[in-house]
Amino acid sequence: MGWGYYWGPTLEHIHRQNSVIAFSALNLIRNDPDFKWVLDNIYVLRRFLRDFPELHEAIKSSYREGRLGISPPVVAISPLYMDGESFIRNVLLGKEFFRKILGREVKTDVFAAFDVTCHHPQLPQILNKLGFRYYIPGRPGEEEYKEKGIPAEFIWEGLDGSRILCNRFSYGRGYVELKEILSRSTWKVGARTAVEQVRKSIRRVYEDVEPPYLVCIGRDWHLFHPALYDLIRFWNSLGEEEVNIATLDEYFKHLPRKKLRVFRGDIDPVSWAAIYGVGGDMVRYKIISAVNVLLNSEKICSLISLYGRRYPLRRF
């Protein structure tokens, strides 16, 4: 599920819509033992649990049972072209938040960077040091990656030789709108149409890559259809592929068994970080400026604290 701050008329509207999405996920978790949900930020649960504290235990039990995946445990998937310290802080604060609400440490080897640009060549080193072994560079799309010769699955080597295993299947690429499809036809015809739609996405992205494949079915503001897992059962009944809903950690454990190409350097095609990132709109520019001011202030205050002045932790 994506968190898009620029969607909707107000931030309050965004919060409420994300709660509706959370309800659709918890409905499937409660009623279908095979359904799983993956989150990549704190905002959905932060507001959801404020408004519906009676569902706190349901969230905690979903994580304990492996039905709720947190990949990665961060505040939000921020633009990656800011100071490296902001990236590290993002993870540390995110882990602290999830530890408080889940009552335990979040353990994941996967950092899914959906909908952000600037996958700079030092990221493998930083991700390794933060404990991540796998990475999803969610932007840009497969056409741009193909133009640069980057396959769907690959090993990314950083500046210092650090390596991280990657899958670039972006969220939303396997999206299928069951509500619309099923409203136009019978279940069997509609389900078959949906299956073929996802198969087409798999062929387009993975080409000659051997299975298993990762297919992300969610997207921004995506409600989970009540018949989602019925679609998976229908697909499996065809006897042509084995399909499962899994967390990212469950998929990535298969990746080390594959023979993967090594790619070195910056994996962002030219201009994407500028068009979609820095120059995308003034909101992003202001966020970057504010974060950099905070980081510079922290560095200065840290130096001053070495000479006896109190560090203003609460103010930060």
Question: Tell me: the pLDDT tens digits for 178-208?
Answer: 888 988 889 999 999 999 999 998 998 898 8
Of residues 119 and 66, more confidence is placed in 66
Q: Tell me, what amino acid is at 224?
A: F
Question: Do you find a cis peptide bond into 53, omega within 30 degrees of 0?
Answer: no
SS3 content of the chain, % helix, strand, coil (to 5): 45, 10, 45
Average pLDDT, the chain: 86
CB 215 within 8 A of CB 169: yes
| pLDDT at residue 310 greater than cutoff 80 | yes
| pLDDT at residue 30 greater than cutoff 60 | yes
Q: Output the pTM of the full model.
A: 0.87
Q: Is 280 exposed, middle or buried (0-12, 13-18, 19+ CB in 10 A)?
A: middle
Question: Tell me: the pLDDT tens digits for 65-109?
Answer: 999 999 988 887 766 655 667 788 889 989 999 999 999 999 999
| Token duo for residue 157 | 């080597």
**Quick one: pLDDT band at residue 277, thresholds 50, 70, 90?**
low
Average pLDDT over residues 158-170: 93
Q: Strands, E, within 126-267: which ranges? A: 134-137, 153-157, 163-167, 262-264
Backbone φ and ψ of 51, nearest 5° = -85, -25
